[in-house]
Amino acid sequence: MKFMAAPHETILILDFGSQYAQLIARRVRELNVFCKILPFNVPADQVVKENPKGIILSGGPASVWAPRAPKPAAGIFKIDTPVLGICYGMQLMGQMLGGGVSKAAHREFGKAQLQINEPDSLFDGLPRELTCWMSHGDYVNRLPPGFRAIASTGNTPIAAMGSLAAKKFGVQFHPEVVHTPRGKEVLRNFLYKICGCTGDWSASFFIQTAVSEIRQMVGKSQVVLGLSGGVDSSVTALLIYRAIGKQLIPIFVDTGLLRKGEREEVVRTFKGHFQMPLVVVDAGSRFLRALKGVEDPEEKRKQIGRLFITCFEEKARRYKGANFLAQGTLYPDVIESQSPFGGPSATIKTHHNVGGLPKKMKFKLIEPLKFLFKDEVREIGREMGMPEKILGRHPFPGPGLAIRILGSVTRERLDLLREADHRFIEELRSSGQYDKVWQAFAVLLPVQSVGVMGDERTYENVVALRAVISTDGMTADWARLPEELLEKVSNRIVNEVRGINRVVYDVTSKPPGTIEWE
């Protein structure tokens, strides 16, 4: 079902396979302008229907001279709207509008000093020399008719070009990355001075518009929602509850694979604090039976996914007035599923947002957050009074602790991991380190080791601690936690959790490792 709580002005970003496409979008949103990422080959008539205030052509890994180089529809440059080409996008613009592109004698990768030749339009209010981030092997060597060279570097005579009359500009550098310190101001100039945006995108605007749309869409029907207690489903629940009140039926399936106190916290927050008609399905025993003897990680995921859908469906079917299913899908998942370059999101998301339910259950789907990034979701939750403890919660996998237990999953092993993980998170919070890492957790290994406790020999389980620093989970570095913190966590686990006598710390980054162990 179409859901679009968007303001009147929109910037379109055409994605040519850039690793920075989502970062461009985030920078535009941070400047209070709504934007959407579309595939590079979107038809020109569809772009016209979107009625954008401007178009940004992203960078990309290809050469414009490559046999299968991605190129936009020919009519894109005939649309009467401002265009900004970034890196590959600038080269495309140069080539398609009658300029020239050639291989650079000296490729530029990394920081460069940008000399501003014309300090107006894109560079209005900025110094005549800027540090910028370059990443290219081709460059525009001949300007298209009507364009002027407005900036250069030592290696690139045309590092930025523009036609004020046509409102078309290109920059060879990447203004969206932090390595271009004044890049956000370049984007601001494009949005406000060239495109004429007013900046009507904000959390309060989104909430107001979304509530109105949900109310109109749902009418007197009921909406069922799979509530996990994570950021995405929690904000989705609160937003829909604000719109339709107790017509929302949040269903929390307790798989028995949750962390210590998680079920109680969800009930306390949503049933107690927000007074929602929360439905709790106690399915721990069913999940344990389904996982008995299962050791393969993918088989664990499949068993958990199938049973979760079954449990949710059994409960949802009881609500005859429920014609809608709500999910907390976010924009990165939409982007990757529509991208011609492919992406794993559709598969990865299966266990997070009740994947597969819409087709099977024939509900109309509501995804109110589908055009939002994670930081925007948190801001919207904050605006609606969502507790910071939920908004700042680390990502937690849909299959839960089952994929943090290497090998077979039993009630005893779950209890061991739950207690060890609880002490790790508790110490992270009390030391002030919790909010400094992207994700942290404990993993129960399928090995035992010899230890000495008192005067007795022990032969017990090993736990690995994992903490990573990341911005989006796509790449991650292991967190350099203070030694005294790790020592305290280790001592607590070994002394307080009977059955564990050794604690190790994972110092693997992603890549080559993954964040989760399974």
Instruction: Write out the catalytic residue numbers.
Output: 87, 174, 176
Cβ 161 vs Cβ 105: under 8 Å? no
How far is residue 311's CA from residue 333's CA, in Å, rounded to a whole number?
25
Q: What are the beta bridge partners of residue 81?
A: none
Give the CB-side neighbour count of residue 309, counting CA atoms within 13 A: 16
- Strands, DSSP E only, in 172-220? none
Instruction: Name the pairing type of β-strands 54-57 and 10-15.
Output: parallel
Q: Mapped to the 3 state alphabet, what secondary structure does 262-314 carry?
A: HHHHHHHHHHHHCCCCCEEEECHHHHHHHHCCCCCHHHHHHHHHHHHHHHHHH
- Between the alpha carbon of residue 271 and those of residues 237, 240, 251, 278, the distances in Å are 12, 15, 11, 6
Dist CA 464 CA 515 (whole Å): 13
Q: How far is CA 202 from CA 33, 42, 77, 270, in A?
A: 8, 27, 30, 25
What's the CA dihedral at 393, 395, 397, 400 to 10 degrees? -30
Rounded distance between C-alpha atoms, residue 290 and residue 14, angstroms: 45
Report how far Cα 271 is from the mean position of its chain's Cα atoms. Answer: 28
- Cβ 444 vs Cβ 419: under 8 Å: no
Smallest CA-to-CA distance from 402 within 300, 259, 270 is with 300
